[in-house]
Chains A and B, each alone.
Chain A
């Protein structure tokens, strides 16, 4: 699987990417279609666009940290 780093991508492009996926942003956090903050699936903390990771498997949006990504591996296997 190809890994695209968002580290050097502008906020505008990241927001456009989120919109294309059916999400949004207030400029800081990732929001769902109803305007609610999207929570990291495993830590239940709001995901910031500067720290977001989008992984396949029902469009999993996570905070970029080793705990959340390890949990993702537990749930989906070594798919990356």
Chain B
């Protein structure tokens, strides 16, 4: 429940901000210490965090991933997706920066992997060929822990030639069974521009696309002969 300080506090004349009286503050602090209230900025932020904390998608991931830090990054991915959906560009960029500062580029890529819906699709691909639950869990963790071996996140300043070269190199080194090329916004067009050349170069792979206006994800799955 939200608390409306306007009813209890005197309105300050300056700058339209509320000025709280001493007695009112003392009372708030007492209630804070009794764990009856909390001081926040925007209620939407708390609501968004709660939604992800209780989300069905996160509950699904919890069934198969035990690593808590990894689960936290998946949750951050869901939060980025929620901010994107609500067109909260500035908050989304702020969160991306915070994720990057704490978990470096790998952590941000894991969060992006969830944000873009790639993890869900990857799980779908795994389910198609599921052998055992243990192997399934191991494969999910493997892609998350070694995300650079499986996914290339194209940046808006990348050159197509370099992107293609990088993809071929990674696939050759790792003998990848699956490889994903992902781009958002202007990087999505770079991914689209690379598609035909990649199809020609990766003839042992079958292409599956996940496209939307803002996003382009290419899944290259090795054809088993």
Contacts and interface: CB of A to CB of B under 8 A. Distances in A.
Interface of A: 1-13, 16-17, 20-21, 42-43, 51-56, 64-71, 73-74, 78-80
Contact of B14 (A1, A10, A55): A10
B89 interface: no
Contacts of A66: 45, 48-49, 76, 79, 83, 91, 95, 98
A65 B95 contact: yes
A19 to B, nearest CB: 9
A79 B46 CA distance: 11
B152 to A, nearest CB: 25
A65 B94 contact: yes
Question: Is the interface on chain B under 10, 10 to 19, 20 to 34, or 35 or more residues?
Answer: 35 or more
29 contacts: A1-B1, A1-B37, A2-B37, A3-B43, A4-B37, A4-B40, A5-B43, A8-B16, A8-B18, A10-B20, A13-B18, A16-B22, A16-B25, A17-B20, A17-B28, A54-B39, A64-B40, A64-B45, A66-B76, A66-B79, A66-B83, A67-B76, A68-B98, A69-B45, A70-B49, A70-B75, A78-B53, A79-B35, A80-B38
B25 A20 contact: yes
B70 to A, nearest CB: 13
A78 B142 CA distance: 30
B72 A6 contact: no
Nearest to B111: A67
A73 to B, nearest CB: 5
B39 A6 contact: yes
**Is chain B's binding surface mostly helix, strand, loop or mixed?**
helix
Interface of B: 1-3, 5, 9, 12, 14-20, 22, 25-26, 28-29, 31-32, 35-43, 45-46, 48-50, 52-54, 68, 72, 75-76, 79, 83, 91, 94-95, 98-99, 101-102
